[in-house]
């Protein structure tokens, strides 16, 4: 049973954490397992990490589950990822709901299989009044696609160019109503953006780790939070 973390050692905690859980496939390959076994273990670790983070006073967590570019992967892997996500939602969301966690989807929901759309919509409806923490699941998400979709909505609504500024533009993004990302964590020894939350991470702090996502645990989260708490954020200032 996980211990409740103490926040005394952290001078500053992020309000919004975004995570790129990379390395599922490599984790499986190193063990001689199919890639989908790695994704399934990654989904289980996602459940563990959400539960652990919810013990902190962190209000928003965004997880990158499936990008708009991931459609180019082999069909069997893509379909397997969809099945794993649906299984994850059906299994974990009732538990999250009891703990006061709200689920929100970021991305092009209408392009996903109908049964997966239905599962996501049920989860969002079930948890819509929860306020302890908001879990944003970026599935079929792309940062460029998000900006394109926002521009399309602006044009469709006939918004005058003179009335568009950074604040108003933010209302047309998938993340409307959410604060910008304070800390982004990427596992799996990769150091790149990967088209994730381009607008929202303009001044985010980054934490990279070689640990593959299925092995990423509570101590790794604490290490990232401690590193963040020691940084001085200037947002372009002195």
The range of the structural domain enclosing residue 182 comes to 16-60+72-229
Q: Is residue 10 part of a domain?
A: no
- Residue 222 bears catalytic tag: no
pLDDT tens string 14-62:
999 999 999 999 999 999 999 999 999 999 999 999 999 999 999 999 9
Q: Is residue 99 part of a domain?
A: yes
Q: Is residue 78 part of a domain?
A: yes
- Report whether pLDDT(2) > 60: no
Residue with tokens 């079929």: 140
Q: Is residue 214 part of a domain?
A: yes
Looking at residue 195, its pLDDT comes to 95
- Residue 22 bears catalytic tag: yes
Q: Is residue 9 part of a domain?
A: no
Q: What percent of the chain has pLDDT above 70?
A: 94
1: confidence class by pLDDT, cuts 50, 70, 90:
very low
- CATH code of the domain containing 40: 3.40.1180.10
Q: For the chain, what is the domain count?
A: 1
Q: How far apart are CA 91 and CA 106, in angstroms?
A: 20
* Alpha-carbon dihedral angle through residues 24, 14, 223, 91, given to the nearest 10 degrees: -40
| Verdict on whether the full-model pTM lies above 0.85 | yes
Which of 24, 45, 70, 189 is catalytic? The answer is 70
Q: Is residue 1 part of a domain?
A: no
What secondary structure does DSSP assign to 155-223, as a single string? Answer: HHTT--GGG--HHHHHTTSTTTTSPPPSEEEE-TT--S-TT-STTTTTT-EEEE-SS-GGG--HHHHHH
Q: Is residue 234 part of a domain?
A: no
Which of 22, 136, 140, 182 is catalytic? The answer is 22
Tallying the residues shown for the chain, one arrives at 238
């Amino acid at each position: 049973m996980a211990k409740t973390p103490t926040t005394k050692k952290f001078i500053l905690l992020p309000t919004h954490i975004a995570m790129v859980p990379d390395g599922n496939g490599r984790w499986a390959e190193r063990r001689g397992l199919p890639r989908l076994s790695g994704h399934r273990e990654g989904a289980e670790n996602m459940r563990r990490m959400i539960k652990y983070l919810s013990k902190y006073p962190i209000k928003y967590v965004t997880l990158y589950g499936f990008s708009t570019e991931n459609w180019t992967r082999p069909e069997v892997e893509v379909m397997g990822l969809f099945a794993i996500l649906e299984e994850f939602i059906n299994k974990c969301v009732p538990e999250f709901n009891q703990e006061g966690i709200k689920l929100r989807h970021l991305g092009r929901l209408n392009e996903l299989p109908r049964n997966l759309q239905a599962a996501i919509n049920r989860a969002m409806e079930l948890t819509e009044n929860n306020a302890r923490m908001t879990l944003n699941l970026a599935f079929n998400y792309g940062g460029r696609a998000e900006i394109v979709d926002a521009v399309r909505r602006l044009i469709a609504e006939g918004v005058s160019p003179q009335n568009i500024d950074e604040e108003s533009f933010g209302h047309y993004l998938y993340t409307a109503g959410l604060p910008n990302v304070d800390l982004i964590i990427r596992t799996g020894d990769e150091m790149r953006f990967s088209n994730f939350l381009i607008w929202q991470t303009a001044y985010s702090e980054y934490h990279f780790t070689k640990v593959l996502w299925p092995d990423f645990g509570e101590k790794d989260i604490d290490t990232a939070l401690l590193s963040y708490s020691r940084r001085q954020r200037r947002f372009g200032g002195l």
